[in-house]
Structure 1
C-alpha cells in the first residue's frame, strides 16, 4: 500500500477566539434533528429486539365466564340434562409455547440485534456528514474574513495613490484623466469590499443554520484551526471499515437470516399447550338431611370440578399454493442484489477518496505555482510603482499590475483553504 502525505504550510492569523471549529461541530451534533430522530429510532429498535426475545417465552392467559342456560341442555359439570334455568361459572388458566417452528423466532432475534447495529451505523454516517458540512461552512467564513482583509488592504493602497494623484493634479503635475481613473479603481475596490462583507454575512448565516442556533449578528468564529497540517491521504484497507460498507454488510447478514427464516416455513410447527380450570353450576346439587336438593357450595364445586389438560399440537405445511417457495426465491434475489449494492458502494467510496487524494496532490502543485505567480506579481507591481514614480510608466499600467497582484493573492488564499478543506474531508473517512 502506497501512503502519500501532503504538508500544508500557510499562516493562520489568530484574533479574538469565539466559536472554534470543535465548538461548532459539537453544537451541530448536539442540535441536529436527524441525529435526535435517529436516537428515537434506536430506542424503537431496542424495543423490537426485546419483543423478539420475549416471543420465545410461553404465553399465559386467564379467563372467566358467567352465564345462564335455558331449556334442555347438558350441564358442563354434572353431565346431566337440565330443563330449568341454570346459572354457571367457569374459571381457567391456559398456556402455550412454540417448541419448534423452523427456528423462525431464533432468526428473528438475531435479525433484531443486527437492526440495532444498523441503526448505530446510520448515526455514524449522519455524524460524519454533519462534521464535513460544518467544517466546510466554518472554513468558508474564515476565507471570507481573509477576503475582507485583502479588500481593505487594497482600498488603503488605492486611497494612498488617490490622495497622491489629487495633490499632483492640484500642482498641475498630474492629469484629470489619471484622477478619474484612480477614482474608478477606488470605487471598484470599495464595491469588492462590500461584496466580501456580504459574502461573510451569508457564510455566517449558513454556519449558524447548520448549528441550529438562534441567528445573531454578533456571531463570529475563531480565526485559528487546531488541525494537523499533515494528513494521510488514502488507505484502501480502511474502506471496508467505513460505516456505509459496514451497514451494507449488516444488511446482507439480515437478508441471510430472513432467507433462513422464510425457509423455516417448510418445517412443521410443534407447540405445547396446557390449561387448568374449574367451575360452578346451580344444577350441581346434593341431598340434605331434610330431604331437599340444594346446590353444592361454591368452594366445594371449585375443588371437585378442577380439570387439567396438557397436549402437543403439530401443524404440518403440505401445500400453500407455492407461497413459501416464491417467498424464498424473492429473498434469494434480494440477497444477490445486496451483494451488488455493497460492491457498488465500495467502488463509489473508493473513487471518492481517490478523487480527494488526487485533488490534494493537484492543489499542492498549484500552491507551488501560485507562490511563484504571487512572488512575480509582487515584484512586477513594485517595479511599476518605481517606474510610475520615475514617470516611465502610466497609471493604467500600475493599476493593471496591482490587479494582477490582487488576483494572485486571492487565488493563493482560496487554494490554501481549499487544501485545508480537502484534508479535513479525508480525515473524516
Structure 2
C-alpha cells in the first residue's frame, strides 16, 4: 500500500522539477559553481598558490638522514699473511643545508610567486565577469523573444476573431467572399509568425542552457522576471566610465600583476651573476666488525657508535666565472618577457577603452532608437484604432485593416527590441563602472 502511494508522489516530484523556472540569480550562481572555464581557472589559481608555498619553504633548511650497511666476504693479504677478510660495516649520518646568501633570490622568487597568484586571481574574476555578462545578455534575449511571442500570439487570436466575423458577414451577404479569404490568409500569416517567435524562444533558451552547460536542455526555462527599466538618458562623456574601468576591471589588474612578475623574473635571473654561499651541519657515526677474530677483536655495536660519533660544520661558496654567456642571454630574454607583458597591458587597456566607448555609442544609439520606437508605437496604435473604426463603418477594406494591424505589430516588436537593447547597453556600462549587473 505504501509503494502504491509513493509512485504518484515521485511522479509529482519529477514533474515539478521539470517545470522549474530559473531566475537570473539562479543562472548566475549555477554558472559560478559549475562552469568548466571557471573551474579550470580555479584549479590554476590553486596551482599558483602551491607554487607560492613552495617558494616560501625554500627559506627553511633542508635536513636529510642516511644509513648504509655493507658486508664483504673473501680473502685479502693482511700484514703479509693471506687471511679471510669477512666484515660488516654500518654508518649513519644526519645533515642540514641552508643557503646563507644568494643575492635575495629566495625573497625575489616569493615576490614573483605572489604576483603570479594575484594575476591568476584577477583572471578568475575576469572570466566570472565575462560569463556573467553573457548570461545576462542571453537571459534578456529570452525575455525579449517571450514578449515578442506574446505579441504574435495575441495578434493570431485577434486574426482568428476577425476571420470568424468575416465568415458571418460573408455568409449573411454583407461582404464579398474575398474578405473571408483575406481574413483566413491573415490567420495563416499570424500563425506562422507566432510559430516563428515560439521557435526563437526555444532557440534562445537552448543557447542559454548551453552557456550554463546544463545536461538537460529540453526542460529548461527561465522565470519571466520584471525587468527594471533604466530611465532613458544620453551619456555626454565617456571619461567617468573609462576612469572607473581602468581602475577596477580585473583584466587590467591581471596585466599589471604580470608586468611585476616579469620584472621579478629578470631580478631572479640576475642573481646568477653573484656568488652563492651555503652552510652545512652534519652528524655521523659508524660501526665496523671483522668476522675473523684472529686479526682483530671488534667492539660492540653501541660502543662503536658512541666512540665513532662525529660532527662537522662547513661553509661553502660558489662563484660564477664563465658559463658560456648563458646568464647574460637569460637576462636579455627576461627583459623581452617584460616588454611583452607591458605590450599585453597596453593592448588590454586599448581593447577596454574601445569596448567602453562602443558601449556608450550603443547606449546612446539605443536611447534614440527607444525614443523613436515609442513614438512609432504610439502612432501605430492610434492608426490601428482609427482603421478598426473605419473598417467597422465600411470605409476601408480588410486589406487596409490588416496593413494597419501589421504596422502596429511591427512597431510593438521593434519597441520591445529597442527596450531590451537599451537595457543591456546600460547594464554593460554599469558593469564597466563596477556596479551590479543584475536585471532584478
TM-score per shorter chain, which class? Answer: 0.7 to 0.9
Cα pair distance change 1:71/1:271, threshold 3 Å: farther
Q: How many Å apart are 1:251 and its aligned residue?
A: 0.2
8 Å contact from structure 1 (residues 205, 215) kept in 2: no
Instruction: Return the match for 2:364 from 361, 366, 377.
Output: 361
What does residue 5 of structure 1 align with?
Answer: none
- Alpha-carbon RMSD across the aligned residues, in angstroms, is 2.6
**CA distances 1:95-154 after superposition (whole Å, capped 9, x unpaired):** 211112232221111111222212211111111112111111211121121111101111
- 1:247 alignment counterpart: 254
Deviation at 1:382, TM superposition (A): 2.2
What is the CA-CA distance between 1:368 and the residue it aligns to?
1.2
- Kept in 1, the 8 Å contact 2:366–2:425? The answer is no
Equivalent residues in 2 for 1:368-379, closer than 5 Å: 368-379=371-382
- Secondary structure at 1:235's aligned position in 2? helix
Cα distance in structure 1, aligned partners of 2:386 and 2:336? 73
Quote the residue 1:299 is aligned against: 302
Is the 1:67–1:88 Cα contact (8 Å) retained in structure 2? yes
Aligned with 2:70 (options 50, 62, 67): 67
Are the counterparts in 2 of residues 60 and 95 from structure 1 also a CA contact under 8 Å?
yes
How far apart, CA to CA, are the structure 2 residues paired with 1:71 and 1:326?
58
Say whether the 8 Å CA contact 1:151–1:192 is kept in structure 2. yes
Instruction: Name the count of aligned residue pairs.
Output: 404
Q: Which residue of 1 aligns with 2:404?
A: 401
State the SS of the aligned residue for 2:297: strand
Q: Secondary structure of the equivalent of 1:295?
A: coil
**TM-score, normalisation: structure 1:** 0.87
Paired with 1:292 and 1:340, the residues of 2 have a C-alpha distance of 78
Contact 2:86–2:292 (Cα < 8 Å) also in 1: no
Structure-2 change in CA distance of 1:255 and 1:303 (3 Å): same
Superposed displacement of residue 235, structure 1:
2.0
Answering whether residue 328 of structure 2 is matched by residue 325 of structure 1, we say: yes
1:73 positional shift: 9.3
Q: Conserved in 2, the CA contact under 8 Å of 1:82 and 1:283?
A: no
State the SS of the aligned residue for 1:404.
Answer: helix
3-state secondary structure, aligned to 1:57: coil
2:84/2:292 contact within 8 Å kept: no
Of 53-62 and 81-90, deviating more is 81-90
What aligned pairs does 1:216-295 form with structure 2 within 5 A after superposition?
217-225=218-226, 227=228, 229=230, 234-240=240-246, 241-283=248-290, 293-295=296-298
In structure 2, which of residues 311, 315, 320 is the aligned counterpart of residue 312 of structure 1?
315
TM-score by length of 2: 0.85
**2:149 counterpart of 1:143:** no
Shift of 1:320: 0.8
Task: State whether residues 276 and 317 of structure 2, in contact with CA within 8 Å, keep that contact through their aligned partners in structure 1.
Answer: yes
